Amino acid sequence: MEALHLVPIFLGEKAELLRPLGLALRRTFGLVCEEHPPAFDPEVAFDAGRGQYNSRVLLAHLLHAAPHTRVLGVAGVDLFVPVLTFVLGEAQLGGRAAIVSIHRLRNEPYGLPEDPTLLLDRLVKEAVHEIGHNFGLLHCPMTRCVMSSSAGVEEVDLKSERFCDRCLAQIRAAEVDPVGWRRFLTVRRRA
């Protein structure tokens, strides 16, 4: 069975999240998740002017470092794309690479106490969301669907970690599957 590579990027002690994240992704997508250290220096994506890491640069390096497999970078640093202040994650639409950041998913930046359970819940939602983009899904207008757009952590908390019936049907009906995702697809329905 083909695997999804989980690549920690400046996760530090939060790398402990990769195992439960991998189990959640396996339950959702039927993917075997393997942890791999980054095969590149993530500092190449640092923008000193913004004090953040460019997610597009990291995506390009993740793709180059793992040219024949699916890959999800999990970052502990703040990510941005040039036209936005920050992003919680980014993915190739219909591709095989995605990245998520836990930086703004933590409670601490909002003056709240650390909550490891809530952080994992938010991370799983954002990882499923970005992998959904890899399946070719766009943002969903259903607030509870995992493909709902999230401009901040409050919106992440409103959605579930599951696809709505419409998004699930789109995945199942997709005729084009350039990277072989569908053969692993055991995506569960929304509860």
Nearest residue to 73 (alpha-carbon basis) of 120, 3, 7, 5 = 7
Q: Say which of 35, 43, 90, 130 is annotated catalytic.
A: 130
Quick check: helix, strand or coil at residue 180? coil
Q: In what order do the strands lie in the sheet with 70-75?
A: 32-35, 3-9, 70-75, 97-101, 89-91
One-letter amino acid for residue 17 of the chain: L
Nearest-angstrom CA–CA distance, 89 and 126: 7
Active site (annotated) includes residue 16: no
- The letter for the amino acid at 63 is L
CB-neighbour burial class of residue 156 (10 A; exposed 0-12, middle 13-18, buried 19+): buried
Catalytic residues, by residue number, are 130
